[in-house]
Structure 1
Amino acid sequence: MAKCQQAFKDLKAYLSSPPLQSPSKLGEELFLYLAVSLAAIGAALVREEDKVQKPMYYTSQALRGAEERLGAEEYPRWSIHTDGSSNKQAGGVGIVLCSLEKDKIECMVHSNFPTTNNEAEYEALVAGLDLAKAVGAMSVVIHCDSQVVTNQVNGDYECKSEKMKKYFEQAKKRMDELHAKIVQIPRGENEQTDRLTKAASMKHMITLDKEVDTGSNWTTPLVSYLKDGTLPDDKEATRTLKVQAARFVLIKDILYKRGSCCPYLRCLNTEEANYVMREVHEKVCGNHLGSRSLVHKLIRVGYYWPTTQKDAQVYVKTCDKCQRFGNLIKQPTEELTPMTAPWPFAQWGLDIMGPFPTVVRQLKFLVVNIDYFTKWVEAEALVTITEKNLGIKNHYSSFAHPQANGQVKVMNWSLLKIIKTQHERAKEIWPEEFPSVLWAYSTTIRTPTGETLFRLAYWSEVVI
């Protein structure tokens, strides 16, 4: 009983005299104590005086979020956030790749085949690893909100179905190549990829319907020569191949054509060329260009194959919408009306388009503005046309009709043509799709200036 009473008195004495921070002295020896757990870390710096240790400074911090998943062996890595989802029609994949310099690459992939949610998560994982390898990442950490996929890859869960085992094997193979590790994160920390996934799983989305053929094509002799030094048996063919190869370069087993005034152009085979032409001509941000403008845009976005001009002409001639909505010029010629615009965005022309089919939010009109100097276009969808929502104040005056040069009318006609060709059977979504129509028009070379509207307005080319 006496020992218990003494221990209680000692405890009271200790609690009633908490340690106070002690000042240090020049040249004395200090001690650093560290305490580390899975949930918190702490450190105390102490000095010794008369064989009694007195604290100088102490700190502690609770580990939260990603800090809880950091081990002692961690080193700088690329990070990948992945997410996947599926519905009855198709699936979608969202990927956010972050470099060591904190540069972010967003990617979304539409799966035009039915998948389960877990299979969609594996699709996102495999696509993210392929993207990381393509940009040259040497080591990555993957953040995934799927408990099943994370635990299967880490070995905590077992893959039972044959399809999931195949996904697992593909994922593990890529992870071993990139020295990757995967960690599970809460869904709330994966909002950016979740947004991309939802957009990718929408009905109106660019889709790759079939695998691209990678068999023998016009690039095969060039790749074989640049990679292995393989030459044909015929001397004339050998000489021709060496001359051609001087204009090409092989980067990570991908063939590019050197350009005198543009970056390297990726070389495509026949299947790839048809797919790219279809995407640029009529898919998202396409505006059913003519053959010459289509070739220019293909080169500007970085693609090349020897028969680009010929293939573009054939493709445009066989495009059903280009034939049905093609330009039929019936207006008689008239004298031009010059418009003086001293500098960019100093003088604008305004006109109204509509009414269009009424859709969500009752939008049915478009207000279109064009800058007379750069020809840059701005447009906005409205419910009604009034003085208030346009910010216009009406003044009555004597009759005067300032003559314009019809530039806005021509612009309206061009935009209306693109809307018709792109969304003929989807009239109810024109407000959502109109920004892509405007973007397609602004990034296409115009014949009078030889430049895109984007370059004239911002003095630089579009980089995607």
Structure 2
Amino acid sequence: MGVRAAIERKIKVLEVYGDSALVIYQVKGEWETRDPKLIDYRKMVIELVKEFDDITFHYLLRDENQMADALATLASMIKVNKQEDVKPIRMSIYEISAHCYNIEEDEEKDDHPWYHNILQYMKNREYPDQASENDKRTLRRLAIDYILDRDILYKRRKDQVLLRCVDAVEAKKILEEVYEGVCRTHANGFTMARQIMRFGYYWSTMEGDCVNYAKRCHKCQIYGDKIHVPSSPLHVMVSPWPSLCGA
């Protein structure tokens, strides 16, 4: 629509900026277009490009295109008739983001990793101080699923695959790398937990930490898809009154 509007205004030199890498690089010809819908879309854009003397396409990161996203969201919320006069909208840009994190960081209880008791038991058959008989029994049962190789503790899954146990510091680095590292998948918490296990790492609160980490991502909260599914499942309700149709 923007390219067509430029043609209607008889603009001959145009610079196009878009935050969709797929669309921009396919139009430029750097990426191959395989989707049948995008093939027709690219052909249409190529035909429109011929109307310009000079046109260039540039990929713009979403972080640098927040104003366009805000205007597009605002335009989708307002319905204006052609005969109405639209008053100018005054907008202010603040240097500091007007958002905050509602989820607080969990404080570490002590300097020991979560698997300290299991490690000490498998190393020296030692129990924690002031441990009851029930605690000792539970620790022995938990230790069955772990394997100690020198100083490295591994968690054994049901399929006999070994996962290296990591502490809180290593877990934080793994979360940052998997979520927004080289590939920047920005997957949801449950998908990220499965990815970390495929990479061969494990800690006891992994799934909950992944979910909370994804909730803290400001980019995903802004650009994430809107979920229209109800928060709780819907159930069919039977009328409490008898039907009077046969009366």
Same fold (TM over 0.5): no
- Smaller-chain TM-score range? 0.3 to 0.5
Which structure is higher in strand share?
1
Which structure is higher in helix share?
2
Which structure's relative contact order is higher, taking Cα pairs within 8 Å and 6+ residues apart? Answer: 2
Which has the greater radius of gyration?
A: 1
TM-score (norm 1): 0.24
TM-score (norm 2): 0.45
